[in-house]
Amino acid sequence: MIEYAIRGGKYYWSWIAFLAIIIALGGISYYYQYQNGLTVTGMSKEVSWGLYIGNFTFLVGVAASAVMVVLPAYLYNYKKFKRVTTIGEFLGASAVIMCILFILVDLGRPDRVLNLVLNPRPTSVMLYDFIVLSVYFLLNLVIAWTVLAYKEKNKGYTTWLKILIFIAIPWAISIHTVTAFLYGGLVGRPFWNTALMAPRFLAGAFASGPSLLIISLLAIRRYTNFDPGYDAIKKIGDIVAFAMVTNLFMIGAELFTVFYSAHPHHLEYFTYILFGIKEGGWVYARFVPWMWTSLILGIAAAIMLIVPKVRNEPKYLAIACGIVFISIWMEKGIGLIVPGYIPSQWGPVVEYWPTIPESLIALGVWGVGILVFTVLAKVAIGVTLEGEKIEEEVVEEEEVVEEVVEEVVEEGKEYRCELCDAVFTNLDECCEHAEKEHKIAKASCDMACVEVAPAEKQYKCELCDAVFTNLDECCEHAEKEHKIAKASCDMVCAEVEE
């Protein structure tokens, strides 16, 4: 299977080379940080967690989101998602790799990281976070890889695989909950110390993760032969819309509680992020534009997603998802971590902003994640396309047979019993049926049996509900109005049965 990762065209290899450069820059920066210590970052005695932990927190959400496509596909047997589950799971696994790397680059003594295993303390939420993240990573990787291997061999799922899939679903919820508890459980940080933390995290996760998945799927659709199916993408779009509105609702609930009750311990932090605070003649407001940008983007994206016409248009959906992703990255990333430290615990207000080496390291970690995802997605696409080639040959033969049958039926007229909708190929049969079943005399059987003209086929554009009498017209429309290539017009133009 892995051989698909090394078979690629010019674009594939240039993309890999681009990522490799970013990773190399991150690697060099990390070496610099390893030699000089975390002093090269913008973190300080007052703000002791920053960009790394912010990205870690955000990415846990992205990782958890894989479940949003896995859950409907396996739990409700929602077929349209089946094509994208592997990609969703690989996205989850890549996100967990980034999470673990972000923790590693944030550690002061990464050489001692095994102390987590050798000397674990059961009261620490971080220990549980470490456990749930590692297990989640393994679950995703094992499941997605095995599913692909089975697809390649055209085998059904074994029982142990199904069990793993069902474990993975609640597990995805757990990684985000535990990460939220990491912050929410700290009595000394009122900014984080709220029961809403875990629900807010989950809502944000189910908006940002599927957004990224949609963007990836649209990119895959555009640049590869693999078509994830527009139906699946649309459905994930619905999920993003729901989650984003819920997320905004919870932010609103948090803001109301803080500002209306105005408890100073909570108020200070929220004043800092939304309006800035004055201290000793200075106004500290570095995060004010950041938070407002995130909020406004979030609201704009939610409005775009609520309107079905906008949501169902691939181009706008991609833009809305991009905005959701950026907005939540700002808000659930450093927008959530850094303000927890400002103002500091004993008075002075020290602000935070990442330095260049710190940003390069963070970019490098993202590079690793994207590289892993690219390679895994390449394998998934390769295996799926290969499998379909064989399937298509079989399907085509079947279709020929069906067409012949349909033609025969269309030649003769049809009669329908209006009382029970049964269809017959000649009037006599229908009359007999009417007499036997509905006690209607043969003489007056024309009351019950009506001639039906063979239904005219109609095609509907799924994006805007326009109706056409033939497929070509619909395809032309799709190309003109929605920029969808004729070759893939069957995705939007569906036959409507009258």
DSSP 282: E
Task: Give the binding site for another protein (CB under 8 A).
Answer: 36-39, 41-46, 48-49, 103, 106-110, 112-113, 115-116, 119-121, 123-127, 130, 182-183, 185-189, 264, 340-341, 344-348, 350
Interatomic CA distance for residues 347 and 45, integer angstroms = 13
Whether a cis peptide bond, with omega within 30° of 0, leads into 343 is yes
Of 37 and 156, nearer to another protein (C-beta) is 37
Phi, psi torsion values for 278, nearest 5 degrees: -95, 135
| Distance in Å, CB of 114 to another protein, minimum | 9
| Distance in Å, CB of 38 to another protein, minimum | 5
| Distance in Å, CB of 116 to another protein, minimum | 6
Of 78 and 353, nearer to another protein (C-beta) is 353
Of 110 and 454, nearer to another protein (C-beta) is 110
Residue 42 sits at the vertex; the CA angle it makes with 41 and 43, to the nearest 5 degrees, is: 90
| Distance in Å, CB of 270 to another protein, minimum | 16
| Distance in Å, CB of 345 to another protein, minimum | 3
Of 110 and 252, nearer to another protein (C-beta) is 110
DSSP, residue by residue, 369-438: HHHHHHHHHHHHHHHHHHHHHHHHHHHHHHHHHHHHHHHHHHHS-EEEETTT--EESSHHHHHHHHHHHH
| Distance in Å, CB of 152 to another protein, minimum | 40
Give the dihedral of Cα atoms 25, 14, 374, 240; nearest 10 deg: 90
How many CA atoms within 13 Å lie on the side-chain side of 303? 5
Of 48 and 293, nearer to another protein (C-beta) is 48
SS3 content of the chain, % helix, strand, coil (to 5): 70, 5, 25
Q: Which residues of 197-230 are buried (b: 16+ CB within 10 A; e: fewer)?
A: bbbbbbbbbbbbbbbbbbbbbbebbeebebbbbb
| Distance in Å, CB of 333 to another protein, minimum | 16
DSSP 439: -
Of 109 and 480, nearer to another protein (C-beta) is 109
| Distance in Å, CB of 200 to another protein, minimum | 18
Of 213 and 360, nearer to another protein (C-beta) is 360
| Distance in Å, CB of 126 to another protein, minimum | 4
Of 183 and 468, nearer to another protein (C-beta) is 183
Place of tokens 């078979």: 7
| Distance in Å, CB of 99 to another protein, minimum | 14
Identity of the residue numbered 207: A
Of 193 and 293, nearer to another protein (C-beta) is 193
Interatomic CA distance for residues 496 and 498, integer angstroms = 6
Of 38 and 310, nearer to another protein (C-beta) is 38
Token pair recorded at residue 264: 């100073």
What stretch of H or E contains 53? Answer: helix 51-64
- The whole-angstrom distance between residue 174's C-alpha and the CA centroid of its chain comes to 17
Interatomic CA distance for residues 133 and 67, integer angstroms = 14
